[in-house]
Chain A
C-alpha cells in the first residue's frame, strides 16, 4: 500500500507511549499497567513472532524484574495502550504497509 507517510505520534494519554526509542534492533517505550506497575515494552519482531512484543516489569513492592510476553499482560493494560503498542509493533516490523514508526 502506498499510503501518504505523515509523521504522526502515538498515544500521549493513559501511558506515555509517545516516546518510542530505538534500542539496537528493537524499539522500547515506557508503560504503566492498570495496577500502577511500571515497566517497559520492548518490541523486537512482528505480531506473528512469539516474543515479538515483551513487557519488562518492575514489581511495585521492589521484587525482581520480570520479562513477560505482551499477551500475558493484556488484561493489565488499558485497551488504548494495547492499540498503541500493537500499532507501534506493526509500523516497525509488520508487513501491512503502515507508515513507518520512526522511533527517536
Chain B
C-alpha cells in the first residue's frame, strides 16, 4: 500500500531542508542586537569569504545603484545600511547554499526579483515594502523548487511534463505527483531559517493566496504571484513550456490597474541586463 505523501511525509522521509547557514544566522543575530554596530556586521560577513565575495559583487551590481565601486564589505555596509545588507547577505547565502541550480529556476528567480521590484517602483501599491526588499522576495519565491530539484528531480520533471500536456500550471500537478508543491517546501525552508513571517507566508501562498489568513499577508503573496506571471509571459519561466496561472485576483489585491501596467513592464524590460549581471555575480 502506498503511504499518502504530504509535506510532513516528504520532510521526514525524503527531503532534508538545508540548515540556516552560520553566517546568515550570525548576521541576523547581530542586526537584532541593539548593542552591535554596523562594523560588527561587516566583520561577520568578512569571516565567510564566499559570502563576502558575493555580497560585494551584489553591492556593486546595477541592482543596488551605488555611485562608487566598493571593495570592502565594511564600506558596503556603511553605504547601504543594515536592512539592505541583511537582504544582500540573505540573497548571497541562498544562492551560495543552493547554487547548483544553474538552470531556468536560477534565471527565473532573478527575473522575478526584478519584476517584483518593478511593481513596487511603479507605486502606489498596498504593500509596506521598499523596491529593494521586493527584489529579495521575488528572488526567494521559488526556493522550494530548487530543493525539489535536489531531492525529487524526476518527480518534478514528471509534474512539469503533465503541466505542459494538460496546459495547467505545474504547481497544480506537483501535489498529485510529489505530495506537496514547491511553495509548501519553500515556505517551510523560510520558516526553518527564521526569515520574516511575511516572506515565509508569501512563499507558501504565492500560487494559492487562500493559504494566507489575512489580506496583509495575501498582498505579499500576490506580489510574488504577479512577478511569477510577468516572468512566464516574458519568456523567463522556471521550467520549459511553463503555463501561467490566473493573476487577476493578485493585481486587484495589490490595487494595480491596467493603466499602470505599461510603466511596470517598461521598467521590467529595461532591467533585463541585470538578469545577466546578477546571474554572473551569484554564480
Contact = CB atoms under 8 A, between A and B. Distances in A.
B190 interface: no
B68 interface: no
B270 to A, nearest CB: 7
Interface in B233-281: 233-237, 239-248, 251, 256-262, 265-266, 269-270, 272-273, 275-276
Contact of A4 (B107, B234, B270): B107
Contacts of B232: 8, 10
A79 B257 contact: yes
A94 B241 contact: no
Contacts of B262: 47, 71, 74, 82, 86
A80 B248 contact: yes
**In the complex, which range does the number of interface residues on chain A fall in?**
35 or more
Interface residues of B, number: 39
Given A9-B243, A74-B261, A78-B258, A83 B273 contact: no
Contacts of B226: 79, 83
Contacts of A4: 103-104, 107
B261 A82 contact: yes
Given A13-B245, A87-B230, A90-B265, A8 B258 contact: no
Nearest to A99: B235
Contacts of A94: 269
Interface in A1-26: 1-14
A62 B242 CA distance: 37
Nearest to B261: A82
A59 interface: no
Given A80-B229, A96-B270, A8 B242 contact: yes
A79 B251 contact: yes
Contacts of A1: 272-273, 275-276
A77 interface: yes
A83 B231 CA distance: 10
A8 B272 contact: no
A76 B261 CA distance: 13
Contacts of B234: 87, 90-91, 98-99
Contacts of B103: 4
A8 B107 CA distance: 14
A6 B104 contact: yes
B153 to A, nearest CB: 17
Nearest to A11: B244
A97 interface: yes
Contacts of A56: none
Contacts of B251: 78-80
A13 B237 contact: no
A84 B233 contact: yes
B126 interface: no
Interface string A46-70: 0100000000000000000000000
Contacts of B239: 6
A4 B198 CA distance: 31
B100 interface: no
Contact of A6 (B240, B261, B276): B240
Contacts of A75: 257-259
17 contacts: A1-B276, A3-B272, A4-B104, A6-B236, A6-B237, A9-B242, A12-B167, A12-B243, A14-B246, A74-B258, A74-B261, A77-B258, A78-B248, A80-B251, A84-B233, A86-B261, A96-B270
Interface of A: 1-14, 47, 71, 74-84, 86-88, 90-91, 94, 96-101
